Structure 1
Amino acid sequence: MKLLNKPFLLVLVFILSISLAACGSKPPEAAKPADNGSAASSVNPLAGKKIALIMQINLGTFSAQYIEGVKEQVTKLGGTVTVSPADGDLAKMASNLDAAINQKVDGILIDHGTAEALENGVKRALEKNIPVVAFDADLKVPGVTVLEQGDAKMAEQTLEQLSKDIGGKGNIVKIWVAGFAPMERRQVAYQAFQAKYPDIKEVAAFGAATQNTALDTQAQMEAILKKYPNKGDIAAVWASWDEFAKGAARAIQQAGRTEIKVYGIDMSDEDLQMIQDPNSPWVASAAVDPKDIGRIQVRYLYQKLHGDQTPDKVVLEPVFVSRDQLPKEQISTAQLSQHVKGWGGSEQGYTEWMKKAEQK
């Protein structure tokens, strides 16, 4: 057997040592951040959810800002929204709800509607494990969270100010429509107001929800002004919806009857612009930020998707907004919180896990 020379042995040992190191050792691991809970919070397990918004009616700037709030919150949580308005047709609304269920959406938001039109569809959604959160809908289905605006309080706030401004007596016009859960709650407060102030007389009452509600209201208010043509015939108008208030205020202003003041419910950028106008008869409104309503509704839906327990009823706290609270320069509802305490930026329904999920 021939012996290997020394230089060759040294080379062989070097090669074998490198091979053994490669086979028997692991590469160094990448540095890991300290485990302080941030890893879990940086992941959103609910991203990519498909949400359906089923609306009885999509009308005016209030609805537009409400939808904006819904979309904003869903987007922050990584989801997508499909909006299906029914133009006031309850049969169409029920059909839209059925369609959303058949499309296997992950969650359903409902805006207004009646139990008769929606209850069967809502129960079917729950049977398919699709959570439902409603706003201002007359629904009492176990497992469904229903949001409302504190309608009695909004009516009381505006009616009490109306009474104060006209000295507790005089003739008023009521603009209201039946068939909507929030309207029915506002009507109860109005009836209590009538009992409390017998010297305030209702001389006219009307109202209808149409595709041109503000314009139709304006025409009807113009007819009432002709029926009561003299100063003092009408002291004030109580409008149970901002679309009613817009129409009434325009009719009064165009007729030069601005001694008649308008008190409304709900608030949008367009409404605020009218209230700030010193020539407008619309002087005050009680409302919840429509964007906040949309955001809060989405939060409770995502709580359900997360497996959290949610209440059957959530009451949103309204605020009273009057012209004397506002600056002379025009502002938007996004700036209203600078002048009216309690407006906008609600944390209602906002959980810590949700805020962390938004960060991603």
Structure 2
Amino acid sequence: MNKIKQSIALMLVLILAVSLAACGAKPEAKAPEATNGAATTTGAASLENKKVALIMQINLGTFSAQYIEGVKEQVEKLGGKVTVFTAEGDLAKMSSNLDAAINQKFDGILIDHGTAEALEAGVKKALEKKIPVIAFDVDIKVPGVTVLEQGDQKMAELTLDKLSKDMDGKGNIVKIWVAGFAPMERRQIAYKAFMDKNTGIKEVAAFGAASQNTALDTQAQMEAILKKFPNKGDITAVWAAWDEFAKGAARAIQQAGRTEIKIYGIDMSDEDLQMIQDPKNPWVASAAVDPKDIGRIQVRFLYQKLHGDQTPEKIVLDPVFVSRDQLPATQISTAQLSEHVKGWGKSEQGYTEWLKQAEKPVNK
């Protein structure tokens, strides 16, 4: 009797197995493991808790502060954490910081300025370790690395065109500029083309150096220039290729009472905007990309890399021209600038639908 029961039970098991096979039932598939931040079949949730390194050549002034704020805001919205490495302008230290980030096994690396000579070896090492890299304002040409740049030539053209219009195409100017930075070199191309075309405008002095005290150093140098050209009409305007230059020059001109000299700059931060809005300040116009947007956009492309998406080799950010006559009499911040200047802030560059869905509110 027991043997009969065992036979019947065995037959039922066999029938059940055959039925399952006929219905196409299969063992549950195991999800593939993520490798170094690559996307998994579970989607954007797999990108939480990423460690992001921001490797900076120099962290100086309110522009850099707002840029870092944009980086951190976007990373935190995607559930990650940022560590900032700054080199105080020392390229050897910047290269060492990049190596440190690789050795500490960060999930992604952002680079801010620097040179190809100092960074390319480290960037290639990062890619070998499957760590994605997104750079800003550095002339790196390594396959697989996306490089962001502001529309530097366009920014120079916008400010120089305004300078020329305000001067009626003639007068003496001072150029404040420094070599050795990719964005500066691009701005210089536009400056040279402008000077070649506008023969009524003469450059009477040129200087500029990047340091941890750029604004103060510029102020001292501008004071010396003003003593060299003491008379009204000796200098009509100053073209400053960086907001730190514009700050220093503005303070020197204002303190000297040379209110006839106007400044046309590049870049924009809350401090810069406050100066441009001041009717007693010689700084009257600037062209820029929102520094917070630069940080946000750079992070978005890094997370696209982490997600396994293809990204372009070069991204050009669209600049905006800001002049005093566009602004209200009451003081505003860059967060309010979009209410008065079309195209400022809230850029959608680098956004994908899955990125928007992956974002979470950040507690301030």
1:293-346 Cα distance to aligned partner (Å, 9 max, x none): 000000000000000010000000000000000000000000000000000000
Q: In 2, distance between residues paired with 1:186 and 1:223?
A: 25
1:225-281 Cα distance to aligned partner (Å, 9 max, x none): 000000000000000000000000110011000110000000000000000000000
Q: In 1, distance between residues paired with 2:172 and 2:42?
A: 59
Do the aligned partners of residues 43 and 306 (structure 1) sit closer, same or farther apart at CA in structure 2, a change above 3 Å counting?
Answer: closer
Match of 1:177 in 2: 178
Q: What amino acid is the match of 1:66? A: Y
> Do 2:276 and 2:323's aligned partners in 1 also have CA atoms closer than 8 Å?
yes
Q: How many residues were matched structurally?
A: 321
Give, in angstroms, the shift of residue 222 of structure 1.
0.4
5 Å matches for 1:142-181?
Answer: 142-181=143-182
Q: In 1, distance between residues paired with 2:44 and 2:159?
A: 45
Structure 1 segments unaligned to the other structure (5+ residues)? 1-39
Q: What amino acid is the match of 1:236? A: A
Q: In 1, distance between residues paired with 2:231 and 2:195?
A: 24
> Do 1:267 and 1:287's aligned partners in 2 also have CA atoms closer than 8 Å?
yes
Match of 2:68 in 1: 67
Q: What amino acid is the match of 1:306? A: H
Do the aligned partners of residues 106 and 278 (structure 1) sit closer, same or farther apart at CA in structure 2, a change above 3 Å counting?
Answer: same
Give, in angstroms, the shift of residue 41 of structure 1.
9.5
Q: Please give the secondary structure, in 2, of the residue aligned with 1:335.
A: helix
Match of 1:268 in 2: 269
Q: Please give the secondary structure, in 1, of the residue aligned with 2:286.
A: strand
> Do 1:42 and 1:357's aligned partners in 2 also have CA atoms closer than 8 Å?
no
Is 1:100 matched with 2:101? yes
Q: In 1, distance between residues paired with 2:294 and 2:267?
A: 11
Q: In 1, distance between residues paired with 2:160 and 2:73?
A: 33
Match of 1:259 in 2: 260
Q: In 1, distance between residues paired with 2:307 and 2:47?
A: 7
Match of 1:45 in 2: 46
Q: What amino acid is the match of 2:231? A: N
Give, in angstroms, the shift of residue 42 of structure 1.
9.3
Q: In 2, distance between residues paired with 1:359 and 1:88?
A: 35
Q: Please give the secondary structure, in 2, of the residue aligned with 1:45.
A: helix
1:64-114 Cα distance to aligned partner (Å, 9 max, x none): 000000000000000000000000000000000000000000000000000
Match of 1:317 in 2: 318
Q: What amino acid is the match of 1:269? A: D
Do the aligned partners of residues 41 and 288 (structure 1) sit closer, same or farther apart at CA in structure 2, a change above 3 Å counting?
Answer: farther
> Do 1:275 and 1:282's aligned partners in 2 also have CA atoms closer than 8 Å?
yes
**Percent identity over the alignment?**
83
Coordinate RMSD, CA, aligned: 1.1
Q: In 2, distance between residues paired with 1:148 and 1:43?
A: 27
Q: What amino acid is the match of 1:220? A: Q
5 Å matches for 1:181-192?
Answer: 181-192=182-193
Q: TM-score, normalising length from structure 1? A: 0.88
> Do 1:276 and 1:330's aligned partners in 2 also have CA atoms closer than 8 Å?
yes
Q: What amino acid is the match of 1:314? A: I
> Do 2:79 and 2:360's aligned partners in 1 also have CA atoms closer than 8 Å?
no
Q: What amino acid is the match of 1:256? A: G
Do the aligned partners of residues 42 and 125 (structure 1) sit closer, same or farther apart at CA in structure 2, a change above 3 Å counting?
Answer: closer
> Do 2:44 and 2:307's aligned partners in 1 also have CA atoms closer than 8 Å?
no
> Do 1:41 and 1:357's aligned partners in 2 also have CA atoms closer than 8 Å?
no
Q: Please give the secondary structure, in 1, of the residue aligned with 2:142.
A: coil
Do the aligned partners of residues 43 and 316 (structure 1) sit closer, same or farther apart at CA in structure 2, a change above 3 Å counting?
Answer: closer
Q: What amino acid is the match of 2:73? A: E
Give, in angstroms, the shift of residue 136 of structure 1.
0.1
Q: In 2, distance between residues paired with 1:138 and 1:150?
A: 14
Q: In 2, distance between residues paired with 1:353 and 1:44?
A: 10
1:33-89 Cα distance to aligned partner (Å, 9 max, x none): xxxxxxx99962200000000000000000000000000000000000000000000
Q: In 2, distance between residues paired with 1:258 and 1:59?
A: 27
Match of 1:18 in 2: none
Match of 1:213 in 2: 214
Match of 1:229 in 2: 230
1:106-144 Cα distance to aligned partner (Å, 9 max, x none): 000000000000000000000000000000011000000
Q: In 2, distance between residues paired with 1:351 and 1:43?
A: 11
Match of 1:194 in 2: 195
Q: TM-score, normalising length from structure 2? A: 0.87
Q: In 1, distance between residues paired with 2:273 and 2:218?
A: 19
Which 4+ residue blocks in structure 1 deviate beyond 4 angstroms? 40-43
Structure 2 segments unaligned to the other structure (5+ residues)? 1-40
Match of 2:25 in 1: none
Q: In 2, distance between residues paired with 1:41 and 1:219?
A: 58
Match of 1:329 in 2: 330
